[in-house]
């Protein structure tokens, strides 16, 4: 009984193993025999990844707010030193165009050509109320020739970097790359353009290629969409060829016997299949190189009998006699790029040169982008230096005013209320001059208030040392550097 039970168990295991093997083998056999079973899907994917990149946007090439801030500050500084009258005109107008458009104005004469951006940027700075203190400081530079020379030297370097930031943009190169990609794809606007294929002739096999020989298809490699047409479109003999590429909706039946004009609606059906392979990828040289490499790997994959057929996209059966839209009987749903008749060297698709040109443009764009970022870094450093020099100039102006006030104070020692130092207090219009003339300042800022005679001033108090940075006069020094820091950073 034991031997019989073991025999039965062994028989059951053998039956199970046979069933498992059959389950594994039968689908593969069915795939090989089926007429349209996604046989061209890997090739279609390689084509679609290149087409999808043509619709992608280039890597961002934006200049940050900090760079614009530096540019505007430099423009105001430059204009205030070179032609302060224009600064005054700009400040008085709501828009720079108003100032430039005023007949016989300094702005109308000077804010043209390369100078126009300087005037507009300076106006923007003034209207943001960020440049007023700098403007005041710079108008006094004529009395500080050494500081002025230093500021102008740094400013000239900064202007050079700003010009580099403006000129080194990847936008132009991106535009050229997009044009090259559109040529490789086959149409400028995939949403509305028809695809003309005048080279189509005789039949689908002649038009798309015969992999068993050397002759490429007459439209093979013309552009990416032409290759997709060979791989995925339907015709009278192969009305469900769209299954090769898993198209949700097949194209109308195309006649490959003569010139073809593929309608925009049929192109949308082809491109609809590409949406399955769309990735959230920016258009960069690296991304395009990777997609082209994936295409070449697919193109060089050995197929057919004895794996001897190559330089073909799609599926080839047996000897690969022709790309007729089927995938059995020694034929294929494919596009064949051919061989050189003499050397038998594999011929690349013609559109490939446009892809490599696009890669070159994108590499150039990325180099320009890197150089621009380096210029932004240098401009930021120069801006810091320029800010420090203007702070020094501002402090020098404040300290000079305080020294003059102290000197005037000493000349008025001994003045009594009602005497020479006090009787004309009302004529003084700012805090520093008021205090310097033995008067008292009743106000809220340096210039907003009223200068009045002191009540009960005694001679002995006048002779004591005076802290000119205390009490109501303290804001003169403390606020000046703060305002300048806000201006430039």
Q: Which of 224, 227, 225 is nearest to 216 (CA)?
A: 227
Q: Which residue has the tokens 């940027």?
A: 121
- Count of Cβ atoms closer than 10 Å to residue 22 Cβ: 10
How many Å from the N-terminal Cα to the C-terminal Cα in the chain? 97
Q: Are 79 and 118 in contact (CB under 8 A)?
A: yes
- pLDDT for residue 293: 97
Distance, CA of 195 to CA of 261 (rounded, Å): 6
Q: Which long-range contacts (CB under 8 A, 24 or more apart) does 101-110 make?
A: 110/83, 110/86
Burial of 38-62, coded b for 16+ CB within 10 Å and e otherwise, reads: bbbbebbbbbbbbbbbbebebbebe
Distance, CA of 226 to CA of 240 (rounded, Å): 18
pLDDT tens sequence for the chain (489 residues)? 344 444 444 445 444 444 433 333 333 223 333 334 456 789 999 999 999 999 999 876 655 666 778 888 888 888 888 888 898 899 899 999 999 999 889 999 989 887 888 899 888 888 886 656 666 677 776 667 788 888 889 888 988 888 888 777 788 899 999 999 999 999 988 888 999 999 999 999 999 999 999 999 999 999 999 999 999 998 888 767 668 888 888 888 999 999 999 999 999 999 999 998 988 889 999 999 999 999 999 999 999 888 889 999 998 989 888 999 887 788 889 999 999 988 889 999 999 999 999 999 999 999 988 888 888 889 889 888 888 888 777 665 555 544 444 444 444 433 444 444 445 788 888 887 887 788 888 887 777 888 888 875 443 344 443 333 333 322 222 222 323 333 333
Q: Which of 446, 451, 484 is nearest to 468 (CA)?
A: 446
- pLDDT for residue 75: 86
Q: Which H/E stretch holds residue 113?
A: none
Residues in CB range of 394: below 8 A, 6 or more apart: 133, 137, 480, 481, 484
Distance, CA of 40 to CA of 23 (rounded, Å): 24
Token duo for residue 404: 């003059």
Q: Are 101 and 48 in contact (CB under 8 A)?
A: no
Task: Give Cα 293 distance to the centre of its chain.
Answer: 25
């Amino acid at each position: 009984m034991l031997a019989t039970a073991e025999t039965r168990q062994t028989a059951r295991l053998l039956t199970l193993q046979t069933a498992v093997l059959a389950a594994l083998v039968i689908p593969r056999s069915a795939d090989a025999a089926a007429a349209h079973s996604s046989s061209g899907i890997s090739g279609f994917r390689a084509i679609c990844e290149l087409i999808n990149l043509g619709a992608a946007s280039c890597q961002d090439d934006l200049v940050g707010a900090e760079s614009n801030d530096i540019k505007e500050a430099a423009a105001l500084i430059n204009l205030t030193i070179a032609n302060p009258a224009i600064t005054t005109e700009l400040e008085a107008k709501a828009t720079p165009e108003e100032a430039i458009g005023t007949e016989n104005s300094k702005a109308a004469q000077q804010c043209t050509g390369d100078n126009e951006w300087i005037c507009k940027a300076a106006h923007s700075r003034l209207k943001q109320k960020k440049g007023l203190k700098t403007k005041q400081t710079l108008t006094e530079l004529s009395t500080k020739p050494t500081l002025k020379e230093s500021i102008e030297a740094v400013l000239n370097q900064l202007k050079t970097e700003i010009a580099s930031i403006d000129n080194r943009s990847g936008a132009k190169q991106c535009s050229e790359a997009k044009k090259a990609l559109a040529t490789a794809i086959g149409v400028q606007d995939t949403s509305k353009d028809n695809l003309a294929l005048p080279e189509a002739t005789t039949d689908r096999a002649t038009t798309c290629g015969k992999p068993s020989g050397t002759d490429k298809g007459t439209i093979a490699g013309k552009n990416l969409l032409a290759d997709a047409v060979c791989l995925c479109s339907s015709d009278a003999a192969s009305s469900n060829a769209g299954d090769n590429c898993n198209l949700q909706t097949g194209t109308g039946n195309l006649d490959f016997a003569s010139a073809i004009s593929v309608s925009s609606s049929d192109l949308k059906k082809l491109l609809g299949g590409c949406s399955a392979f769309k990735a959230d990828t920016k258009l960069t040289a690296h991304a395009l190189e990777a997609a082209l490499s994936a295409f070449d790997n697919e193109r060089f994959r050995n197929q057919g009998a004895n794996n001897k057929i190559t330089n073909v996209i799609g599926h080839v059966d047996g000897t690969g006699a022709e790309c007729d839209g089927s995938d059995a009987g020694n034929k294929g749903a494919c596009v064949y790029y051919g061989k050189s008749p003499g050397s038998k060297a594999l011929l690349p698709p013609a559109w490939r040169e446009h892809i490599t040109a696009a890669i070159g443009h994108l590499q150039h764009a990325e180099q320009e982008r890197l150089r621009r970022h380096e210029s932004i870094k240098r401009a930021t450093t120069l801006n810091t230096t320029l800010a420090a020099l203007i702070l020094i100039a501002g402090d020098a102006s404040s300290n000079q005013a305080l020294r003059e006030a102290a000197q005037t104070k000493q000349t008025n020692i001994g003045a009594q209320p009602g005497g020479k130092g006090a009787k004309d207090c009302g004529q003084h219009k700012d805090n520093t001059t008021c205090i310097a003339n033995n008067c008292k300042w009743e106000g809220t800022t340096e210039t907003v208030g009223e200068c009045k005679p002191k009540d009960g001033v005694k001679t002995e108090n006048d002779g004591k040392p005076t802290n000119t940075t205390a009490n109501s006069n303290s804001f003169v020094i403390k606020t000046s550097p703060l305002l300048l820091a806000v201006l430039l950073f």
